[in-house]
Every structure is written in C-alpha cells, then in structure tokens.
Amino acid sequence: MDRRQFNIAAGAGALAALSPFGIVRAQAQKLKVGVILPRSGYLSFIGQSCQKGADLAPGVIKEMLGVDIELMNADFETSVDTARTRAERLIQEGAHVLVGPFDSGAASAIAQVAEQRGVPFIINIAAAPQITEQGYKFVFRNFQTAGDIVRNGLDLIGELFQATNTVPRTAVYMHVNDTFGQAMTKGIQALMPTRTQLPFKIVDTISYDPAAKDLTVEVSRAKAANADFVLYVCRLNDAILLRREMVKQRWNPMGIISPGSPGMYEEQYFKTLGKLSDYSISNVPWYNPNAKLTRVVEKAFLKQNPNDKLVFHGLNAGFTFEAIYIAADAFKRARSTDPKVLAEAIRQTNITDKMTLGAPIKFNAKGQVEGIGSACVQNRDGLPTVVLPKNAATAQPVFPAPYYKR
C-alpha cells in the first residue's frame, strides 16, 4: 500500500468512527422518495390526484431548498397486500423515505414495513388513529386523525346550521365499512354526545362496502328513515353511486353533509354528476388559497396540468406535496440519508411556510402532526367552494339545498 492509499484508508476509518451508528456514508447528492399511491383500483382517481402533487414537488423543492429529489413511484392498486409488497420493493431498490398512501388500511400495512426495515415513512393522507398509536419511531403523519376530522367536522356542522338558521332534527348516517370508515364511525359515536349544540339525532346507521357497484338497497333503507339530512362518510365512487340513486328514488332530503371524508369535492364527482354534484358539503382539512406557498405550487401545477384546476386537487396534491417537502426539509438539515438521522430530523420539523390550513408542521412524540385546520367546502356551480369559517370563505353557505322537498 503506497502513502496515498494509506491516507485514504485512514480517512475512511476516521469517518467510520465519527459517523452516527458506525455507518460510513458519503453525503448523498439526492433524496430518493418512494411514493406509494392507489393509481388503479376503486381509489384510482384520488391516487392520480395525489400523484399530481408528487410530480411537481421535485421542481418546486429544488428551487425552494436546493435539494435534489428522485421520485420512485409505485401503484398499490387499492390493495392493502399490494401496498405492503410495494413498500418492501421500494426499500430494496434504495428509497430513503416513503410517502403515501391516502388509504388508512394501506398506511397501516406500510407503517409496519417501514418500522421493521427502519426507513422513515411520511403519511400524506390517512386518518385511522391507531396508525400513530403503535409507538413507531419511523412513522410520521401530516394529516388529521379521524377523531380530529370528526371533531372539526361536527363543529362546522353546528356553524353551518347557525349560519343558515336551520334546525334539522334527524339524520341518517351512511358510511363505508373500510378502515377509514370504521375509524370515523367510532369518532362520531364518541363525540356526538358531547356536541350538545347539534340539534339532531341519528335515527339509522347504514354501512356498505366502498367497492360496491350498487347502493339501491342502502338508499331505499335510508329514504325510509325519513331523516332531515344525510350524514355521510364516503369515498369517490360510492358517493357518485349514492347521489345517482337518490335521484332515481326521488329522495330529496335537506342535504348531504360529510363530517370529514373524500369523494364529494373530487373532480370526477363533478364531471360525472354535473349539476347533481352541487350543494353537497364536505367538512375537511383543506388548503389555504391565500398562502404564499399555495401560489408557488399552483403555478407549478398549472404548468404541468394546463387543462386542470388546483381547486379540484388542492387537498390531495397539497398534502402529498407537503409530505415530500417535509422529507426534503429534514434531509437538508440532517445532511444525511442515514435512516435514523433522517427520522430524527423529521421529528424536529418546524415548517411555518406551508400550503394547508392550520398551525406550523410539527410532530409530537408519536409522530402525529397537530393543529391542522378544516373548512366547510360546499359544491357550488361546479366548484368546491369554502363557505366556512368566515375568515376563509369565498361564498355564503346554502342549506337546505334548493332541491329539498318537505
């Protein structure tokens, strides 16, 4: 060994001694982000919507933070088992961090893989509370839990009734029976008795498979309950089925209100139903249209999707973009792709320049973000429109819906 080779070897030995956990790693030039989304299957439209936020992230983040990002995209086909195998494969192929997956069931499966393999996993959208109640060290969620969604959603329902001077006395509760729907149902059952300002009681509860192809029986039963309005936890495809079936059966309650679920603000809901999509209400985490980062993201979004509108993808694209933004911010501070170092940097996140409503992005000891805000979003003239709270509203709420028949 000549002197030059000796010096190189000695330097490597010194680096090993100084490197955390005794791992020798050269400073990575880019962050490899494994993005797992349901781009096919019954959640495909929403998965593709989330993907738009992922696709614009590398360019925007490069300009903002100077961080190079390589996306490693995977479709889990709306299958929990496939989500697990896709996560394994992305890690084997070198992903430094995982992002996704929109669905709570898939998120639970990916979280197990990420924790076992010791790779950070940042959840963009998924609300089942148990995901961040397992004591995981590598799992982080930048989204409300089902309990938070229900709490905010029910409070907004109270504000809606007050703003429109209405006093509905009864509701029929309809919900998907997947992991998300079950979590939301538990939240509603726990919180409804504490919301004394709400004037209504639930007279019937009807659950169904989110992949159902027909809701004739369920809508017939709901109509027979003779409730004032529909309290609704849904996905996209079933929301379309339900609205069509309501028209077919000539059922016109005061309205359809979601205390916090996807589906009725999605672009495909508007495209498929046309005017029938109007006046549906979703109380959900939302993006701030006045935020500086929103304007930056919207510019990049329109450049990549010139025939589209951010308003139809703001929630999906916004939270997906932010998940990748969190990873890039941590990578820049950590200056390492070592999974333990990167996870610790994510844990120390404090992002104030954000796109979504609510407090700065900070994670508690469980890896759960706190302080994300919600908005009452009503479909109006073919667009999802914020009608509450007043300081974020661009229109006045309308309730009951004009189609209501006493």
pLDDT of residue 289: 84
As a whole number, mean pLDDT of residues 354-364 equals: 95
- Specify whether the CB–CB gap between 87 and 68 falls below 8 A: no
What does DSSP assign to residue 28?
P
**CATH of residue 132:** 3.40.50.2300
Whether residue 358 sits in one domain with residue 302:
yes
38 within domain boundaries: yes
Does the pLDDT value for residue 4 go beyond 70?
no
DSSP code, position 168: -
Residue 244 and residue 184 share a domain: yes
**Domain annotation covers residue 400:** no
Which run of H or E residues covers position 174? strand 170-176
Residue 338 pLDDT level (bands cut at 50, 70, 90): very high
Interhelix angle 146-164/179-191, rounded to 10 degrees, is: 60
Same domain? For 140 and 117 the reply is: yes
Question: In Å, how far are 147, 174, 307 from 208, measured between CA atoms?
Answer: 21, 8, 35
Tens of pLDDT, residue by residue over 175-228, are 999 999 999 999 999 999 999 889 999 999 999 999 999 999 999 999 999 999
Residues 275 and 174 in one domain: yes
Task: Examine the pLDDT at 406 and tell me if it is beyond 80.
Answer: no
pTM: 0.87
Same structural domain, 125 and 151 = no
Q: Are 159 and 270 members of one domain?
A: yes
Task: Give pLDDT, residue 392.
Answer: 84
Tokens, residue 173: 């509760």
Q: 169 and 279 share a domain?
A: yes
Indicate whether 65 belongs to any domain.
yes
What is the rounded distance in angstroms from the CA atom of residue 368 to the CA atom of residue 338? Answer: 22
Average pLDDT, integer, range 95-109: 98
Let me know if residue 358 belongs to a domain. Answer: yes
Cα 46 from chain centroid (whole Å): 10
Residue 2 has a pLDDT of 47
Query: 124 and 163 share a domain?
Result: no
Q: Do 279 and 365 lie in a common domain?
A: no
- Summarize pLDDT for 258-309 with one digit per residue, the tens: 999 999 999 999 999 999 999 999 999 999 888 999 999 999 999 999 999 9
- Length, in residues, of the chain: 406
Q: How buried is 262 (Cβ within 10 angstroms: 0-12 exposed, 13-18 middle, 19+ buried)? A: buried
In a domain, 73, yes or no: yes
pLDDT at 132 exceeding the cut of 90: yes
Please report the pLDDT score of residue 391 as a whole number.
83
> What are the angstrom distances between the C-alpha of 329 and each of 69, 100, 342?
11, 17, 10
- pLDDT tens, position by position, 57-70: 999 999 999 999 99
pLDDT tens string 219-260: 999 999 999 999 999 999 999 999 999 999 999 999 999 999
Do 240 and 385 fall within a single domain?
A: yes
* HEC assignment per residue over 245-299: HHHHCCCCCCCEEECCCCCCCCHHHHHHHHHHHCCCEEEEECECCCCHHHHHHHH
Q: Sheet harboring 201-208: ordered strands across?
A: 201-208, 170-176, 229-233, 256-258, 281-285, 374-380, 383-388
Domain-embedded: residue 231: yes
Q: What domain range is 172 assigned to?
A: 147-286+375-392
Task: Say yes or no: 262 and 384 in one domain.
Answer: yes
Q: Count the domains in the chain.
A: 2
- Residue 14's pLDDT band, with cuts at 50, 70 and 90, is very low
% of residues, the chain, pLDDT over 90: 90
pLDDT at 28: 60
Q: Do 68 and 169 reside in the same domain of the chain? A: no
250, part of any domain: yes
Alpha helices in 75-145 (DSSP H): 80-92, 104-117
Task: Give kind and range of the element (H or E) at residue 233.
Answer: strand 229-233
Q: What is the average per-residue pLDDT within 89-101?
A: 98
Spatial neighbors of 51 by CB under 8 A, at least 6 apart, are 35, 37, 39, 73, 320
In-domain check, residue 297: yes
Mean pLDDT score across all residues of the chain: 93
> Residue 13: its pLDDT value, please?
42
